[in-house]
Amino acid sequence: MIHVSDDIIIRTLARILVPFIQLYALYVIMHGHYSPGGGFQGGVILGASMVLLLITHGYGETKVRFSERGAVIFSSIGLLIYSGIGTLCLVFFGNFLDYGKLSTLLQVVPAHARSLGILGVELGVGFAVMAVMFSIFFDISTSGELPVDE
């Protein structure tokens, strides 16, 4: 079960750090194609921020931002974005995830189309990983029951 922390220092610092962790995660996702990082790492950081909120503030506070239902929806959306971009490349007579072929659709040069395609794929991976990380932690820590804190 999740035991909500009663340490005021941990609670307050978690509250202040969570927005910055989330923004850092989005930065890692968005800049994944020319600096270290990418969809998976960013998604894990984003999931970790949710987990931090969950173990410091409990399910009630976390639920209004991200719930189990949200996890289901976001993991599906992430997978849809990833496979959608991959299949779109097939439609334009390329290989799966061959972003260069998207240049006719996006009206840009193939190099730029590759950059944008990777960005989209990483966004999808990030969403899916974030949602799955959250739901793995959530399922393990609650052993399937809906928690009632305080």
31 binds another protein (CB under 8 A): yes
22 binds another protein (CB under 8 A): yes
**Shortest Å distance, C-beta 60 to another protein:** 13
4 binds another protein (CB under 8 A): no
Specify the length of the chain in residues.
150
Task: Dihedral sign for Cα 13, 35, 89, 92, please.
Answer: positive
- The total of other beta-carbon atoms located within 10 Å of residue 34's CB is 8
Q: Which of 15, 68, 92, 108 binds another protein (CB under 8 A)?
A: 15
23 binds another protein (CB under 8 A): yes
12 binds another protein (CB under 8 A): yes
Contact 92, 99 (CB under 8 A): no
Q: Which of 2, 4, 27, 97 binds another protein (CB under 8 A)?
A: 27
Q: Is 48 helix (H, G, I), strand (E, B) or coil?
A: helix
Contact 13, 55 (CB under 8 A): no
**Interface residues with another protein (CB under 8 A)?**
7-9, 11-13, 15-16, 18-20, 22-24, 26-27, 30-31, 65-66
